[in-house]
Copies of this chain bind each other. A is one copy, B any other.
Amino acid sequence: MTASINDVAQAVGVSASTVSRALRGRPGVSDEVRDRIAAVAAQLGYTASRSASSLASGRTYTIGVLVPYVGRWFFGTVLDAAEKVFSTAGYDVLLYNLGSPETRKRFFTKLPVRKRVDAVLSLLIPDDDESAALRSLGVPLATTVGGTRPGFTVVGIDDRAGTESAVRHLVNLGHRRIGMISGASGPLHWTTPIERRNAYLDVLAEAGIEHDAALEADGDYTVEGGERAMTELLAASRPPTAVFAQSDEMAMGALRALRRHRLKAPDDVSVVGFDDHELADVVGLTTVAQPVAEQGAEAARLLLRQLDEPGAEPPRHVQMPIRLVLRETTAPPRPRGPQ
């Protein structure tokens, strides 16, 4: 079928080992022979079989990437950036889309990446068993989502600081009834919703605002969930004048709910999101921005570094900057008159 290393060796008149060394830049080959080999290899369109070379060397030059939902903006963006880093370093990426419990379970029991990847980047938080399974692979591990786990190097953001800036912004605007749309219903070990909720409660307390449980609703990190949650909040006996959504997608759902109720942001209720989604600007959403692509790229780089320097102790936790970006969905509450 396609040319093998022996075909090249034969054509050049050297042994297969020399071809192997020459093509991979290993020492022990004269420049002259190396050039001839390169020429013949190019002419024959030879590429080493990955299966064969990884079987022989143990290195796969492949990274496993675990993602809950490839289709969602956040994960897609992280994946995009990470893939670029990996591929320019000569690594391929094996993608596992582990959104549903079944596929997730299947993955962790069969562990199809065993002996197949040199490292894994997990965009989901593994529970104890799952992370033990991953550690059993004996390869470097990284994740870009909240919740540090032993054996993983995690790159993330300061969730507390981020939500504090968002909620304080609302407080400073004069809001007292501040709702929150959270995403608590996710898997366990996923600390982000909890961190953000705690920060939310802290800011309220610090502002002397009493917490009202009727002002919290679960939006499941989706647009539809955000819409449902906002609808729920609007049905409260005393609805909020402002809401903090733990993700832009939920915030957008909230905006949709407002529109359905013939209410407007920020006139009737202020809304602030989290992420700085690609389309947040389109809808004028005030939000706390996090460097999503950069997190993916950085996690990828850290993984590659671990592969280059097997000895070195990998960084445990790196934090990326966040910042509040003010747009048009937040304003002072109305009841007290215009401006």
Q: How far is the CA of A138 from the CA of B95 in the complex (A)?
A: 23
Q: Provide the residues of chain B in CB contact with A1, threshold 8 Å.
A: 138
Interface residues of chain A: helix, strand, loop or mixed (majority): mixed
| CB under 8 Å from chain B, chain A span 17-76 | 45, 47, 49-52, 54-55, 60, 62, 65, 69-73, 75-76
- Asked if A188 lies at the interface with its beta carbon under 8 angstroms from chain B, I say no
- Residues B47 and A112 in contact, CB atoms below 8 Å apart: yes
- Residues B112 and A83 in contact, CB atoms below 8 Å apart: no
Stretch of A164-172, A204-212, A252-260, A312-320 on the interface side: A252-260
Stretch of A121-129, A194-202, A277-285 on the interface side: A277-285
- Asked if A145 lies at the interface with its beta carbon under 8 angstroms from chain B, I say no
Per-residue 0/1 for A283-312: is the Cβ within 8 Å of any B Cβ (1 yes, 0 no)? 110000000010000000000000000000
Q: Count chain B CB atoms within 10 A of each CB in A70, A83, A106 and give the residue with the most.
A: A70
Which of B80, B111, B114 is the one whose CB lies under 8 Å from A71?
A: B80
Per-residue 0/1 for A92-122: is the Cβ within 8 Å of any B Cβ (1 yes, 0 no)? 1111110100010010001110111000000
Q: How far is the CA of A84 from the CA of B103 in the complex (A)?
A: 8
Give the number of times this chain occurs in the complex, counting copies: 2
Q: Count chain B CB atoms within 10 A of each CB in A51, A94, A111 and give the residue with the most.
A: A51
Which of B49, B80, B136 is the one whose CB lies under 8 Å from A97?
A: B80
- Residues A60 and B51 in contact, CB atoms below 8 Å apart: yes
Q: How far is the CA of A72 from the CA of B318 in the complex (A)?
A: 27
Q: Provide the residues of chain B in CB contact with A281, threshold 8 Å.
A: 223, 256
Nearest chain B CB to A292's CB is how many angstroms away? 9
- Asked if A237 lies at the interface with its beta carbon under 8 angstroms from chain B, I say no
**Given A71-B77, A88-B103, A282-B223, A97 and B83 contact (CB-CB distance below 8 Å):** yes
- In the complex, 14 of the A-B residue pairs with CB atoms within 8 angstroms, ordered by the A residue number, are A1-B138, A2-B115, A49-B55, A50-B112, A51-B54, A51-B116, A69-B80, A71-B77, A73-B73, A84-B99, A92-B94, A93-B94, A223-B281, A255-B282
Binding site for B on A (CB under 8 A): 1-2, 45, 47, 49-52, 54-55, 60, 62, 65, 69-73, 75-77, 79-81, 83-84, 87-88, 92-97, 99, 103, 106, 110-112, 114-116, 136, 138, 223, 252-253, 255-256, 259, 278-279, 281-284, 293
